[in-house]
Structure 1
Amino acid sequence: MKKITKIESNKTNSFIKPKLRVAAYCRVSTDSDEQLVSLQAQKTHYETYIKANPEWEYVGLYYDEGISGTKKEKRSELLRMISDCENKKIDLIITKSISRFARNTTDCLEMVRKLVDIGVFIYFEKENINTQSMESELMLSILSGLAESESISISENNKWAIQRRFQNGTFKISYPPFGYENIDGQMIVNPKQAEIVKYIFEEALSGKGTQKIADDLNHKGIPSKKGGRWTATTIRGILANEKYTGDVILQKTYTDSRFNRRTNYGEKNMYLVENHHEAIITHEDFEAVDAVINQRAKEKGIVKRTSKYLNRYPFSGKIICSECGSTFKRRIHSSGARKYIAWCCSKHIRQITECSMQFIRDDDIKTAFVTMMNKLVFGQKFIIRPLLDGLRKQNSPESFRRIEELEAKIESNSEQSQMLTGLMTKGYLEPALFNKEKNSLAAEGARLLAEKEQLTHSTNDNLAKVEEVNRLLKFVAKSKMLTAYKDELFENYVEKIIVYSREEIGFELKCGITLRERLVN
């Protein structure tokens, strides 16, 4: 007789379904200061969203900054994510929309097919499409085609609207130059700044160079348009800007068929609008200054559209005198038969009685920089990590979520505006109705943008510091003690050098901290 014995199952050895490894991909198509905030908002959203699902495991966020969605090859993080998928590190990808993933139908379908073939699927939030559950590629093909055509349509509609404003002279200068303000869409003279502009032109006509003019303005404590220090480049830009004569040349730049911004050297029509606004400088003075600049360029052998500075040094313009605020200039000094490089306060050079700060040696600065970096490598746990932790705690998740909401509303507002323009170009709307709806959307868009900019401004400085501290930490964490100075390291991490005396300088790092070092003479 057969004997049957029941073997109880071992509950502890039951098959446990592994969690899906989920990554997120996002892209910010602008390359502005708002980028850090926008990216942080998306990071916060995806990390919270993925971790909230008990069946998912968050494996990271991949993001491309300031890169157009029309070009897959230029999106390094997207390509790195696909590589990680091929290496079996990711099971599912979440992204905001098809247009954020790709605005090129061919690229989109190629990537989706490639990922599906290796068992990796994509979830598009906005369209609510999961490539794992699709019976065919038809819907994705249609939607990605719409995303691609939307990119082209937006560009063409913008170009059409802008061209019309160029031609009838109604194009509004959204960011007026120093000396003007934008009031109700009009360029209005700012009297206080206008006096500075006149001073700059007068000084240039008297024979002063652009660097000398910049130094004088800095010495007087006059802030530039962005509230910072004046530079020779800024002064040259003012002296070459025709807007100060009351005229405007439109379409100095344009976007080509590949969505690249280019300077217009005659490839496209330009439009000269005379008497567009109140002038600060006469045409005669403007042309006289232009003649002076061209003569100097000719004497120095400088040709337009070529590199002007063939001998540019990493320390140039970055060494600041703590006594008078002037920049230091590079000089060759002699000690007997031996020559060496030194940096001297420009005001001390011009008038020794106005600034007592003496020169410092180039080699001493480099030695101090190496010492400072080695201290960071050695003491990273006590200096950089606490700083990074402190900055991260200051970030407000609520702010990032609000910014994300505002971006969505701004994007919707822009889409409605583009749709109106498209209907107008096709003759489906009466001009009166078009203007009414367009103005209403513009007012709402301006309100949303103002709120976003205010919120962005309040968090951007801190985020920028977090990014810089994190970048510095990554370097020192894997670096060995330095044995020699390197220009690349200095340019990567130092904003400027403050000279306190011949014995002490301070390195103001891009992450916001200033570290003092003794100079060994």
Structure 2
Amino acid sequence: MLINYRIAIYARVSTEEQAEFGYSIDAQLDTLRAYCNLHQKTIVGEYVDRGVSGKSIDGRYELQKLLRDAKQGLFDEVLVWKINRISRRTIDLLKIVEELGQQRITFRSFSENFETETAMGKFALQMLGAVGELERNTIVDNVRMGMKQRARSGQWNGGKVLGYRSSQVVRGQRHRKDSTLEIVPEEADIVRKIFELYASGKGLKAIANQINHEGHKTKRGNAFSTDSIKQIILNPVYVGKIRYLQHEHWNERRRKGKNDTPILVDGSHDSIISDDLWEKVQLLQSSKAVTSSRNFDGKYTLTGLMKCPQCGAAMVASRTVNTLKDGTKIIRRYYSCGNFKSKGSSVCRANSVKADYAEAFVYQRLKEVINNDRILKDIISTMNQHKKGNTVPLQNELHHIIQKADSIEGKRQKYFGLFEEELVDRETLANRLDELKAEKERLLARKSEIEWELSNDSSQLVDFEYVRAILGQLEHLLFKASTEQIKSLLHLVIKQINVKNRKIEAIELNFNEEMQKHFLCAPSDDESEGASSISRQRPTLYRFTLVI
């Protein structure tokens, strides 16, 4: 008896791969379709991620859609052109294949043809996955080694820095192009002013406030903040130096990857400030860094959650200290606009909200919603009524994208006709076809993203019992948590807190995968309404926001 296997095709290409190696989506799809046709296999779905790196699954909406459809049993086999199309990280590859295996779905690669359900097949998969990861890491290491060597020779490795522009210089008999820095006079004046103001005794916020009031902008066109001012006065590029590898593996480690021994050499570019001014500023900065004026006790549990009603920036910890006639000091805590705190009054106002009021209001409102079924039911009912209506703009955009993508084929045929009539030359035709192809790739990538958002947002309504169970677990954890734990829990649950007229207007609860996973897996002290009972009742919901 001939079994008709249902095949799901997955294809992916990053922008760099397509440009360098020609791993086009069309080539992958044509190859896989021909294979299925030859072996009489039925293609039930094609999942294509365009212009996305394979180093992780973030932003790969088609792969996420494939894994979701696998759980629903929509196909029997997943077919890819090469194993590294699924992932270039061995751990992600094995995890995806294992997840497919749990659904009794076979994973097959056209180029590396073997069965993944056998012992030897699994071994081969692991080896090929490791080879793919080694290949990627080798390329990364070679690029990094080359950039280190360029830095050691005083060359600029690229990037935007205020006061300079990057330009290409041809060097040597082989006409190698190197990046170098040229001074931008009007930007250099801003840099000198910042150094001179700091040397005169002004603080970071005072400098940012003055520079912003004068109408100056950063290299990216934003207002200056205390952090951007600090980065400027600590950057040795302005004294003619090249500093490289201050942080290693930034994508994974962020600031924890700080390198204690970065490359620091004389650069081939001209300096903007003098050695004397640089040394004076560094001496002042190091003396100020010894003691911090911030002495907050860490009890600001809503820091970053409240949004400024004027500019939308996160509101941060603030306080005032008033001294009474008898010498008693009274400390008043507030949440104030982060932009005002770091960039000054030219950007926004303080818009301060009393911290005691805000924290008490949020805790009370959460408790009120958790313990009053009627309030929670009304909130969920209202949200469900508007849930599908909110998808209309996305549906309209999707319809527009489909129409525009379809029209590109007509444009291609038009240029072919002009070429046949000798009204355009071969080079013009090739350039225009490349532009149309790139435009279609962008449209289809956005189409995948919208379809993913729509399927997550409107596939099912929010269940009252499920939400109540998760919020009940939240109350259970908050009751016994420390201040730092409460802060972490609130940041996990609350998307943002909206403020109006120095009062809290609404609290948006963020039911995303991470939040639900946390509460579904959280340990419970009893067998009544614990997280384990929730996980037995129903699977994790998709993302949604609950406004209370």
> For the residues of structure 2 that align with 1:356 and 1:110, how far apart are their CA atoms?
49
**Which deviations, in whole Å up to 9, do the C-alpha atoms of 1:94-114 show, x marking residues without a partner?**
345222446588997999799
Alpha-carbon spacing, 1:17–1:209, altered in 2? closer, same or farther (3 Å): same
CA distance in 1, matches of 2:441, 2:13: 20
Question: Which residue does the alignment assign to 1:330?
Answer: 318
Alpha-carbon separation, structure 2, partners of 1:317 and 1:209: 27
Find the counterpart in structure 2 of residue 279 from structure 1: 271
Superposed, which structure 2 residues align to 1:156-305 within 5 Å? Answer: 156-170=141-155, 172-184=156-168, 185-218=179-212, 222-254=216-248, 262-266=257-261, 270-300=262-292
Return the letter of the residue paired with 2:136.
S
Q: Would you say 1:361 and 2:382 are equivalent positions?
A: no
Match of 1:55 in 2: 42
Aligned position for 2:427: none
| In structure 1, C-alpha distance between the alignment counterparts of 2:459 and 2:216, rounded to whole Å | 36
- Matched residues in 2 for 1:469 and 1:216: separation? 48
Question: Conserved in 2, the CA contact under 8 Å of 1:322 and 1:498?
Answer: no
Residue 248 of structure 1: how far off its partner (Å)? 0.7
Distance 1:297 1:472 in 2: 51
Q: What amino acid maps onto 1:209 in structure 2?
A: G
**Is the Cα–Cα contact under 8 Å of residues 321 and 328 in structure 1 kept in the other structure?**
no
For the residue of structure 2 that corresponds to 1:176, the secondary structure is coil
Contact 2:239 2:274 in 1 (8 A): yes
Please state how far the C-alpha of 1:24 moved relative to its aligned partner.
Answer: 4.8
- 2:515 matched residue in structure 1: none
Which structure has more relative contact order (CA 8 Å, sep 6+)? It is 1
How many residues matched? 417
> Which amino acid counterpart does residue 154 of structure 1 have in structure 2?
I
- Aligned pairs for 1:128-139 (under 5 A) are 129=113, 131=115
Partner of residue 413, structure 1: none
C-alpha contact (below 8 Å) 1:251/1:264 kept by paired residues? yes
What is the match of residue 537 of structure 2? none
8 A contact 1:498–1:507 mirrored in 2: no
Contact 2:151 2:243 in 1 (8 A): no
Specify whether residues 380 and 146 from structure 1 end up closer, same or farther in structure 2 by C-alpha distance, changes over 3 A only.
same
**CA offset digits 1:397-452 (Å, max 9, x no partner):** 69999xxxxxxxxxxxxxxxxxxxxxxxxxxxxxxxxxxxxxxxxxxxxxx99x97
Distance 1:324 1:315, change over 3 A: closer
Give me the whole-angstrom Cα distance separating, in 1, the residues matched to 2:102 and 2:507: 52
Give the C-alpha shift of residue 153 in structure 1.
3.5
Of 110-119 and 277-286, deviating more is 110-119
Instruction: Mark the CA change 1:27 to 1:342 in structure 2 (over 3 Å): closer, same or farther.
Output: farther
Change (3 A) 1:54 1:110: closer
Give the residue type in structure 2 aligned to 1:55: T
Change (3 A) 1:231 1:95: farther
Residues 154 and 267 of structure 2 are in contact (CA less than 8 Å); yes or no, is this contact kept in structure 1?
Answer: no
Distance 1:454 1:358 in 2: 45
Cα displacement (A) at 1:156: 4.2
- Distance change >3 Å, CA 493–CA 467, structure 1 → 2: farther
Equivalences for 1:441-456 in 2 at 5 Å?
Answer: none
Q: 2:441, 2:6 → 1: CA distance?
A: 35
Deviation at 1:214, TM superposition (A): 3.6
Does the residue aligned with 1:197 lie in a helix, a strand or coil? Answer: helix
TM-score normalised according to structure 2 size: 0.52
User: Helix, strand or coil for the counterpart of 1:292?
Assistant: helix
1:384–1:469 CA contact under 8 A, matched in 2: no
Distance 1:496 1:215, change over 3 A: farther
C-alpha spacing 1:87/1:489, structure 2 compared with 1 (3 Å): same
Q: Is the partner of 1:379 in helix, strand or coil? A: helix
Counterparts of residues 87-98 of structure 1 (less than 5 Å):
91-95=76-80, 97-98=82-83
1:18-97 equivalent positions in 2, closer than 5 A: 20=6, 22=8, 24=10, 55-58=42-45, 68=55, 91-95=76-80, 97=82
Q: Counterpart of 2:303?
A: 315
Gapped regions of structure 1 (runs ≥ 5): 1-14, 31-40, 402-447
Using the alignment, how far apart are the partners of 1:469 and 1:89 within structure 2? 16
Using the TM superposition, give the Cα deviation of residue 175 of structure 1 relative to its aligned residue in structure 2, in angstroms: 0.8
Deviation at 1:57, TM superposition (A): 4.5
| 8 A Cα contact 2:236 2:243, kept in partner | yes
- When residues 365 and 114 of structure 1 are mapped into structure 2, their CA distance, relative to the original with a 3 A threshold, is closer
- The whole-number CA distance in structure 1 between the counterparts of 2:126 and 2:334 is 64
After TM superposition, list the pairs within 5 Å mapping 1:397-436 onto structure 2: none
Letter in 2 for 1:315: T
Does the aligned pair in 2 maintain the 1:497–1:505 contact within 8 Å? yes
Do the aligned partners of 1:29 and 1:67 also contact (CA within 8 Å) in 2?
A: no
Q: Determine the C-alpha separation between the residues in 1 that align with 2:68 and 2:384.
A: 33
- Relative to structure 1, the CA distance from residue 389 to residue 482 in structure 2 (aligned partners, 3 Å threshold; closer, same or farther) is farther
Once the two structures are superposed, the pairs formed by residues 365-384 of structure 1 within 5 Å of their partners are 365=358, 367=361, 377-384=380-387
Higher mean Cα deviation, 217-226 or 51-60?
Answer: 51-60
Does structure 1 retain, via aligned residues, the 8 Å contact 2:160–2:219? no
Specify the SS of the correspondent of 2:284: helix
What amino acid does structure 2 have at the position aligned with 1:206? S
d(CA) in 1 for partners of 2:74 and 2:132?
29
AA partner of residue 263 (structure 1): K
CA shift, 1:217, in A, is 4.6
Residues 328-347 of structure 1, C-alpha deviations (whole Å, 9 max, x = no match): 7523699x999874345797
> Within 2, Cα distance between the matches of 1:204 and 1:110?
52
Give the distance between the partners of 1:115 and 1:466, measured in 2 at CA: 20
- Residue identity opposite 1:180 in structure 2: Y
How far residue 209 of structure 1 moved from its aligned partner, in angstroms, is: 3.0
Taking a change above 3 Å as real, the CA distance of residues 264 and 91 of structure 1, as seen in their structure-2 partners, is same
How far apart in 2 are the matches of 1:465 and 1:291?
55
Identity, in percent, stands at: 17
* Residues 322 and 454 of structure 1, relative CA distance in 2, 3 Å threshold: farther
SS at structure 1 position matched to 2:291: helix
Tell me, what secondary structure is at the counterpart of 2:202? coil
